[in-house]
Structure 1
Amino acid sequence: MNELDLQQDVALLTEQIMNIESVSGNEQELADKVHHALQQLAHLEVHRDQDAIVARTSFGRERRVVLAGHLDTVPLPRTEGAKGTVPAQVIGGVLYGRGATDMKGGVAVQLALAAELTDAKYDVTYVFYDHEEVEAAKSGLGRLAKNSPELLEADFAILLEPTNGTVEGGCNGTSRFVIRTRGKAAHSGRAWMGHNAIHDAGEILQRLAAYQPQSITVEGLDYREGMNAVRIAGGIAGNVIPDYCEVEVNYRFAPDKTLAEAEAVVRELFDGFDIERTDGADGAKPGLDQQIAADLIKVLGQEPKPKYGWTDVSRFSALGVSAVNFGPGDALLAHSDDEHVPQQAIRDCLQSLRAWLR
C-alpha cells in the first residue's frame, strides 16, 4: 500500500490525498490509508467505524477539542478539460483538483497535526468521516454519533471546512418542502373540462417572490436567510391538462430557530396548500462564547463571520459541543469545475492551529 507521508509539507500531503479518488461511496481506499497512518502514531488511540476513523490523545488535559473533516468529495466534473478533477495539478503555487477546497486541505492539516502534536495544550480528538456530501442518513459522522457518542465528547470542535482562513461560527439550518397543487385532467383541446394544476402553482411562486428573507443577529453574527423554489414538476403529456404539480422549496434559516419553528414559517406562508417536509436539519449557534474560542480568534487576528450554508457543526452542537468552521480555501470554489486552493493557504491554516494548540 502506498502510505501517506504525514511528515512532508502539508501542501504536498494535500496533493497526495487528492490523488486518491474518494467520491462519496468510494472512500474506502483513502480511509484505509488514513487508518494505517494513524495506527503508526504511538500517542494516539485509534478507532474505526466502517470508513470513519477517530484518533484521540490522552495527555491528561482538563479540556478536549475535536478537529473534524470528511474524506469524501462530490463527483468529478464532466466538463472536458476541467481542472477540478483527479489527479491534482499544481500551477503557480495553486493546487487544482477535486477536493482542493472541500476539503482535502483541511484533512491534510488534521493529519499533519495528528503526527506532530505529541504534546498539546488540550487533548485532541481527530475525526475523519465518510458520506458527508450525500443524504444525511448515510453520514459517517452521524453514524459515529449514534454508535460511539463517547468518542465525540469534547469542550469545543473545529470543522475544517473552507473558510478562507477565518472562523465562521455556527451555521444556518436547512429544510426542504414539497408544495402540491391538484387539478383535473382533460384533453387540452377541451381544456374547460379540466382544471390546470400548474396554473394553480403560480400562487406558490407569487408568494415566494413577495417573501422578504430576513437577516437575523445571533450572538453577534448576522445570518442571512433564504427561501427559494429549487424544482418544479407537473404534467404528463403535451396534450393533457395537468392534474398535479409540485414545487420544491428550500428554506435556509438562521440558528435562532429550531427545525420545527422553521417549518411553521413555511406552513404559514403557504397556508391553504398541501405541504410536506421532505428533509431538514437544525442550524448551530456560533459557539464563540467560551475562552477556548476566543483564544483561537486571537491567534487568527480576524473577526469571525457567520456560516450561511449548513455544515456538520450542527451535529456537534446537537451533542452539546460548541463548534466552528475554520479551514483553508474559498468555500465559493467548492464543487466547481476548477476547484483550487493556494498551497500557502494550507500551510497558513496548519501554522494557525499549531500556534493555538501548543
Structure 2
Amino acid sequence: MSINLEHSQEVRDLVTRTSAFVREVVVPLEDAAAGDMVQAGGDTFRRELQADASARGLLSPHGPLEYGGLGLGMVDRAPVFEAAGHSLFGPLAINVAAPDEGNVHLLAHIATAEQREEFLRPLVQGRVRSAFAMTEPAPGAGSDPTALRTAARRVAGGWRVSGEKWFITGADGAGFFIIMARTAGEPGESHGATMFLAPADSVGISVGRHIGTLDRSMVGGHCEVRFDDVFVPDERVLGEVDRGFANAQVRLGPARMTHVMRWLGAARRGHEIALRHVAERQGFGSRLADLGMVQQLVADSEIDIAATRALLLQACWELDQGERASMSTSIAKTFAAEAIGRIVDRAIQMCGGLGVSDDLPLARLSREVRPFRIYDGASEVHRWSIAKRAVHHATGARS
C-alpha cells in the first residue's frame, strides 16, 4: 500500500495565500486589539475581514463548492486551517472559526436540500453566523450529553422547545441556532435527542449574559440562552427525530480535529517567536539557543508539533474515508490540547519577562489555548472513552 503525505499543488498554493493574508493583514489587526474580539469590533470587524478574504478567494475552504466554498476534505483542511490559526482572528477571517465551521460540516452532511438553501448557503458565504446549542447548566448536558434536559413536545405542525443553555459560543448575533432537545426518554438515557433549526428571531429565544472566560477571540461570546416554548415547524427538524445524539457525531469528531488545526497554528506562532528570541538573545556567555536547557525546550516543542500533526492527519484520513474515527479523534484531541498548551508555555519560558508581557502575543495565546483542554470534551472524559474502547477491543479480540 502506497502512502502519500504530500498535498496537491492547489492546496499548497491555498496555504501560501492564506498564510500571507493572515500574517500581513490579520495579525496586525489582532495585535492592535490585543486579541480581544469586542475591542476589534465584533461582527462589523468580522464582515470586513471576510469580505477581504472572499475577494482573495480564501473564504470557507471547507464549504461545499455548490454553496460557495472551496470543497476541501479533512486532510486538505489541516494545513490551511493551521495557516489561518497563526492569528487568533485568522480562522474567523476565512470563515473557519467555531462554531460556524462545525455547523457547516453538519448541515452539509445531514440537512435536507431546502435546509441547505436556507441555512447552509448563507453560512458558507459569511452572510450569517450560527450557534450550536447543546450545553446546559447543571444538572443538564455538559461533558455527559445524555443529561440533556431541554425538551421538545409535539404540537400541530411541529414542535415546542423549552429549556436553558449556557456557554453557547457565538450566540450573541447568531442568525440561527441548532438546538439539541430531548424528544423521548429521560435525562441520563442515551437516546431520544433531536436537533432543530431555529432562526434567532424566533419568538421565545432570548440571549442573556455573556459568561466571562479566559478566551476573548470568539465573536458573539459564550452566552446563556433561553428557549421559551419556541415553535419549530417539522421542516426544520435537522436529521431524524430521536437520532440527535447519533447525528451530532457527524459534527463532533471533525470539529475536534479542526480545533486542533487552528490551535496548532497558534502554538506554532508562539514557538516561532521563541525561536527567534533565543537565537538572538545573549546570556551567560552565549546565545540562549546554545544552552542545553533551552535546547531541550526547543526540541520538546518540535516533537509536540510533529506528533500533533501526525495524530491529526491519521484521524482526518479516517474521517475522509467515511469512518467515525471515534478512537483516533479522541486520541488526537487529547494529545493536541495538552501539547499545544505545553508549546505555548515553553515559548513563554524561553522569552522570560517578555513572555508574560504585552510586548509579545504569547500571554494572550496562553489564555486562548488553555480552554481547549475542556472545550469539545475535557481531556479526562476523552481518556475515559479511550480506555473503554481499548478494553472492549482487547476483550473482544480474546473471546
For the aligned pair, the TM-score class normalised by the smaller chain equals under 0.3
Report the structure, 1 or 2, having the larger helix content.
2
Higher relative contact order by CA 8 Å / sep ≥ 6: 1 or 2?
Answer: 1
Report the structure, 1 or 2, having the larger strand content.
1
Structure 2 length normalisation: TM-score?
Answer: 0.24
User: Larger Cα Rg: Structure 1 or Structure 2?
Assistant: 1
